[in-house]
Structure 1
């Protein structure tokens, strides 16, 4: 069951990388999740590297202009997609300076198009409160694929803040698309016992896709003790249901 869920998540992420639907990537459904991940990474590399030189030239121009002027130009002349591609060629600190002055809605859309290979240093340089606001916006949009990618780029402090702030439902759905098992484990490990029990309750009593998300989360945790604790809370929840 766990390998099937992992492959399904990878198909969704592959479709996102190609800008299409999962129906259009069924040709790859026979591949393992590991092979799907490799395929997706090659697709991402090809797509983002194709016009990189042009975006690098634009990024070089921004170094000669004041931050406030760069922000005004970006908001008026650049779509979030173009802004994200240029940001990927800027120094993380400079790009973060601009991001901290941009509207949250604009940043949320830009995150969708940010080169995942360069997202980490940039996200970690942005003000944590701004990151949390962007995460909240993406949750409202139901964009858990982008959020899964951002989890891999977040600092430990951001992970702790996000894990304790977002809803159980959102955490489960984000976990399906997290790039790193280790980062996902850190986020879950930051939660108190009461929250882990609530997550088990939400997973077991939610719709089929949320139950699948719970199974996927459990399978991806790379801390055996944490996995056993969460499984134990799930058993407690099931026992409670059978006695009522």
Structure 2
């Protein structure tokens, strides 16, 4: 059993912040995922503060020029990294005027370098259709980490609009990298019931990485009723699918998430899950016991027949 899902996600995000690979930051894997997140946030803050005064001066100059000229200068003179840094120092409405005139591909490149805490005021001023188009471009590139970072800055309307045009798989992968459990919960709650059922079905019936993503999504929800509803959707699957979910949780370090899902089920559904033949396998029982021991917050959950 490898690292837990939260640690895996934080290592990916730390690697992204340092422009390297998860293997290169694997040394941090011994830390709690919350400590890795704090380390990443300090790294990002340091990178932004290093040249912030310069970015601020350039942002002031843009006030003196008309928007069309600013757009032409930006596209010709500034790579997306610098443009993103400068946009973070501009007044949100002024930055949005430029963004609404720029090519989608350039904006998607810039999103890779936006600091989420500075992005929210800007995103709220951008035309929703352009936000959706940029997200679609990022999904096409597989930039789920970037979208997860920016989820905190999304309004409920943007969440609904984006969810309507991207796949269940993309939504699951984005959820793995969302910064805030609260905002992730808000985003999931904004989706219609039929879409939620489909997303859960895609997770349970998908490849191992999607099964892990589904477990992570349900476990992170801050709304008990919503978590219970999605857990019940998952438990509607047949024994074969639930057995695959069980083995994926063991293999991917997602047993804590699996136990959280199980605890959210109603008593009748729990009894049905406990009849899975796989739970009589000594190896499975041993792995589950080790996981429960390692995660005392879930140790009150009896996931044994």
- Normalised by the length of structure 2, the TM-score is 0.76
- 3-12 or 126-135, which moves further after superposition? 3-12
Q: Provide the aligned length of Structure 1 versus Structure 2.
A: 241
Q: What secondary structure does 1:165 align onto?
A: coil
Equivalent in the alignment of 1:223:
223
The CA deviation at 1:115 is 2.1
Q: What secondary structure does 1:158 align onto?
A: helix
- Normalised by the length of structure 1, the TM-score is 0.95
Equivalent in the alignment of 1:84:
84
For 2:66 and 2:16, the matched residues in 1 are separated by: 34
Q: What secondary structure does 1:166 align onto?
A: coil
| Cα 1:198/1:29, change in 2 over 3 Å | same
1:22-41 aligned within 5 A: 22-41=22-41
Equivalent in the alignment of 1:193:
193
The CA deviation at 1:25 is 0.4
Structure 1: give runs of 5+ residues left out of the alignment.
none
The CA deviation at 1:206 is 1.3
Q: Is the 8 A contact 1:159 1:186 kept in 2?
A: no
Per-residue CA distance 1:143-184 (angstroms, 9 max, x = gap): 001100111101121122223332100000000000111111
Residue 14 (structure 1) aligned with residue 27 (structure 2): no
The CA deviation at 1:239 is 5.2
Q: What secondary structure does 1:89 align onto?
A: coil
The CA deviation at 1:241 is 5.7
Equivalent in the alignment of 2:171:
171
Equivalent in the alignment of 1:97:
97
Q: Which has the larger radius of gyration?
A: 2
Q: What secondary structure does 2:90 align onto?
A: coil
Per-residue CA distance 1:62-101 (angstroms, 9 max, x = gap): 1100000000001111111111111111011100110000
The CA deviation at 1:238 is 2.9
Q: What secondary structure does 2:116 align onto?
A: coil
| Cα 1:95/1:232, change in 2 over 3 Å | same
